[in-house]
Amino acid sequence: MKRAFRSAVVAGLSALGLLAAAVSPAQASTGFDRCPAGRFCLFDNADGSGAMATYSGSMATLGAYDNWAASMRNRTGLHACLFTERYHVYDDSVYQGVFYAKAEYSGDIDLTPFHDENVGMANNVSSFRLSPTRHECGNGNKYMDWNSDSWGRTEPQPFGDFNRDGITDLIFRTFDGALYFQRGDATATRIGVGWNSMNVLQRHGDRDGDGAEDLVTRDGNGVLWMYPGNGTGGLKARVQIGVGWSTLRNVTAMGDFNGDGRRGDVVTNDSSGRLWLFAGRANGTLEPRKQIGTSGWQGMTALVGAGDMNSDGKNDLVARDGSGRLWLYPGKGTGGMGARKQIGSGWGRFERILALGDANRDGRYGDLYGKDAPVMDLYVNNGWGSLSQYTASYDWDPRETPF
């Protein structure tokens, strides 16, 4: 029977990866406080007494110190994962042995309590990993695990389907700006680097008419870009589609919101409370803006192009106000909206709201995800604009961005 040891000890984050350093036993006789700043320390006694080994980075094997440590202190500012097997392996035929301590926790940790009928952690540590995120600490991946609820569908979807295989997927920006395409089966492919310069990350179907879903981004200079998808999970050369967008708040890809057959429409609000529609052209660029809301929109903290939520064949807008209430603004198919309807409360806790189409494969669009690391709640649309909640937990860092 497999077993796992897990300990989430005090929150914290920050810092980048460090190179592994050689082990150096300390000469002082006792105490956790011997562990130097910026180092990870193992002790051969449970109370931090006896010999000490210090490290500045991950170790795949511990050599003479294999199965030696009975206690530890982490002062690296990185997440620490201790493994009972060499090479950071914790999945074998008998047990899973891994101990996890969150970054920046520098307290005294005795490994003796972490045991079961199969194995204990004390005097059984054979490798460890130090990483800036929890998921990389545990499995070595820069991206979080993602398992789509729509697995098994094969017909390409209008949006939320970046490689046209029918399965809802994610684009994922890591804390250090790398971009990954996540297929929905817990695997991913890196498709970009340097994306931390972007402060808007959006997608909602095909903008340029080639059948592949595209990305919309805004950089720190207020320039709006389209990154065309290649239909297989990668990106083609970017195209500039706007300038002067710094003053606009919630930039939201909407698909075809005005009913002209083009799926590249963008909606955004400004600080004066107005709502604007930028209709998409056939090549993915934008028409001059058109005002579609006159006042009160400055109080909206999120705008979401959720697709057709009420089954009338027209794309709708979802907005969150400053009190955390969620509102459905049904689209008229001409760029205008009908009377709003409240469809949720308590949404202020979410750092990001994602619309990925039919996420649960029930044939109804308008499903939403609320992201609040490390949790992402799925809210399934019933086809009439009402939502039912399903909670899922994912191992990600608050500095990371899924979309």
Q: How far apart are CA 28 and CA 10, in angstroms?
A: 28
SS3 230: coil
Pairing status of strand 71-74 against strand 40-43: antiparallel
Q: How far apart are CA 111 and CA 129, in angstroms?
A: 16
C-alpha distances (whole Å) from 231 to each of 157, 174, 228, 294, 311 are 12, 22, 9, 38, 27
Question: 187 Cβ partners below 8 Å, 6+ apart?
Answer: none
Res. 279: pLDDT tops 90: yes
Using one digit for the tens of pLDDT, what is the confidence trace for 310-338? 999 999 999 999 999 999 999 999 999 99
Residue range 290-314: average pLDDT?
A: 96
Residue range 391-396: average pLDDT?
A: 81
pLDDT computed for residue 108 by the predictor: 87
Using one digit for the tens of pLDDT, what is the confidence trace for 176-233? 999 999 999 999 999 999 999 999 999 999 999 999 999 999 999 999 999 999 999 9
Res. 236: pLDDT tops 80: yes
pLDDT computed for residue 115 by the predictor: 79
Which single residue is written with the structure tokens 């204990």?
120
In angstroms, how far apart are the furthest CA atoms of the chain? Answer: 77
Query: Please, which pLDDT band fits residue 12 given cuts at 50, 70 and 90?
Result: very low
Q: What is the mean pLDDT of the chain?
A: 89
pLDDT computed for residue 162 by the predictor: 97
The predicted model scores a pTM of 0.89
Pairing status of strand 368-372 against strand 109-110: unpaired
Specify which residues 266 forms β-bridges with.
Answer: 253, 278
